């Protein structure tokens, strides 16, 4: 894994929360208003007590147009701007000391069918183990079947209900079949699941996942990731994004998940700065 500056992020790889049509619809279904920045990105706003607006430009390089905001909406604003690759920020933007986003993420590039050769040795060994087990199988399921298995799985996941709701709500908005659901079975018993979101024609991002206590013995989660990589390669997807990694604002119980993700990543990117304006 290589730590790179955000200026080195490939220009054709866009952060999915600000470019995915499904996520845009999800925000709108949550009573937030989305405004396009350019062809593939958007920002959102929320009115508070009918007095002022909170606007968030998340991982967008174009500076928010203050004059446009004043002309078209309420006069009182709290604007948050998190640049994507841009480094030079005008002086009239002030550093936001309160965290309002995930600061650390990673991505990997699918070059060819030997993608797994870039993995850490631990992941390579896990891959060999599950490939030799004829009792394991992965199935792609529809939303209802994935939700049923997710719901019935006996797992320790503090935000299980929230993740399930997010998956269901997003899936209900998916009219282009961009969400894919994978479940790993030991014989007929489900032991792990993963849902991913394809977006921007060249990228795929982690959406939700779950594991049972049997996953580690059979390396089921590694197999799901391998299946995700391989099936994405067959769809001509170039970038795999695991979304956020644990940062200093997250609890320590997230560290093991971050450590696991790092077995498969090429590049780690940190977005340490965010800015705000009051108008």
The string of DSSP letters for 137-167 reads: EEEEE-HHHHHHHHHHS----TTHHHHHHHH
All residue ranges of the chain with pLDDT < 50 are none
- 82 with 121, same domain? no
Asked if 138 contacts 185 with a C-beta cutoff of 8 angstroms, the reply is: yes
Q: Which residue has the tokens 């309420």?
A: 74
Domain that holds residue 90: 2-104+272-278
Tell me, what CATH number does 124's domain have? 3.40.630.30
In this prediction the pTM is 0.90
Note the pLDDT of residue 203: 96
Strand partners, 278: 78
The separation between the first and the last C-alpha atoms of the chain, rounded to the nearest angstrom, is 41
Note the pLDDT of residue 250: 62
Note the pLDDT of residue 99: 73
Write out pLDDT tens, residues 163-222. 999 999 999 999 989 999 999 999 989 999 999 999 999 999 999 999 888 767 788 889
Burial of 264 (0-12, 13-18, 19+ CB in 10 A): buried
Backbone angles phi, psi at 173, to 5 degrees: -95, 0
- 117 with 100, same domain? no
CA dihedral for 48, 163, 151, 204, sign (positive or negative)? positive
Note the pLDDT of residue 249: 63
Extract the runs of DSSP E, i.e. beta strands, from 168-202: 179-186, 189-199
Note the pLDDT of residue 247: 67
- 231 with 120, same domain? yes
- 119 with 64, same domain? no
SS3 of residue 23 by DSSP: helix
Note the pLDDT of residue 22: 94
- 143 with 94, same domain? no
Strand partners, 108: 240
Note the pLDDT of residue 149: 96
- 12 with 43, same domain? yes
């Amino acid at each position: 894994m290589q730590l790179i500056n955000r200026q080195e992020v490939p220009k054709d790889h866009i952060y999915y929360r600000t470019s995915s049509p499904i996520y845009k619809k999800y925000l709108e279904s949550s009573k937030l208003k989305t405004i396009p920045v350019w062809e593939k990105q958007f920002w959102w706003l929320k009115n508070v007590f009918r007095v002022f607006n909170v606007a968030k430009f998340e991982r967008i390089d174009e500076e928010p147009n203050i004059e446009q905001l004043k002309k078209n909406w309420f006069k009182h604003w709290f604007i948050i701007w998190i640049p994507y690759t841009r480094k030079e920020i005008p002086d009239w933007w002030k550093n936001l000391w309160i965290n309002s986003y995930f600061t650390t993420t990673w991505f990997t590039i699918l070059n060819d069918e030997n993608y797994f050769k870039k993995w850490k040795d631990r992941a390579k060994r896990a891959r060999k183990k599950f490939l030799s087990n004829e009792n394991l199988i992965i199935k792609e399921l529809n939303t209802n079947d994935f939700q049923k298995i997710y719901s019935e799985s006996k797992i320790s996941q503090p935000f299980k209900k929230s993740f399930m709701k997010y998956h269901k709500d997003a899936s209900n908005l998916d009219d282009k079949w961009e969400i894919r659901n994978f479940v790993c079975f030991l014989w007929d018993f489900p032991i792990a699941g993963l849902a991913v979101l394809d977006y921007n024609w060249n990228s795929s991002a982690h959406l939700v996942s779950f594991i049972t206590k049997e996953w580690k013995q059979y390396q089921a989660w590694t197999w799901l990731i391998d299946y995700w990589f391989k099936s994405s390669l067959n769809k001509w997807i170039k970038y795999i994004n695991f979304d956020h990694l644990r940062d200093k604002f997250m609890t320590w119980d997230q560290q093991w998940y971050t450590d696991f993700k790092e077995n498969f990543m090429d590049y780690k990117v940190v977005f340490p700065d965010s800015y705000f304006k009051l108008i």
